[in-house]
Chains A and B, each alone.
Chain A
Amino acid sequence: MSDIADRVKKIVVEHLGVEEDKVVESASFIDDLGADSLDTVELVMAFEEEFGIEIPDDAAETIQTVGDAVTFIKGAV
Chain B
Amino acid sequence: MTAVLPAKRPVRPGTRDVSVQIRPVVRAGLGVLLVLWILAPLLPVVLWSVAGVWRAPAVTPDTYSVNAFASLGERATLRAGLASLGLGVAVAVVATPLGFLGALAAQSLPGRRGRAVDLILLAPLAIPPFALVLGANTTLLRLHVPAFAGVVLILVVTALPYTAFMYRSALAAYENQFEDVARTLGAHPRQVIRHVRVPLLATATARGFFLAFLVGWGDYVATLLVGGGQLTTLPMLLGAAASSTGNEQLTAVLSLSVIIPPVIILAAFGIPALTRKAVA
A binds B: no
Binding site for A on B (CB under 8 A): none
Binding site for B on A (CB under 8 A): none
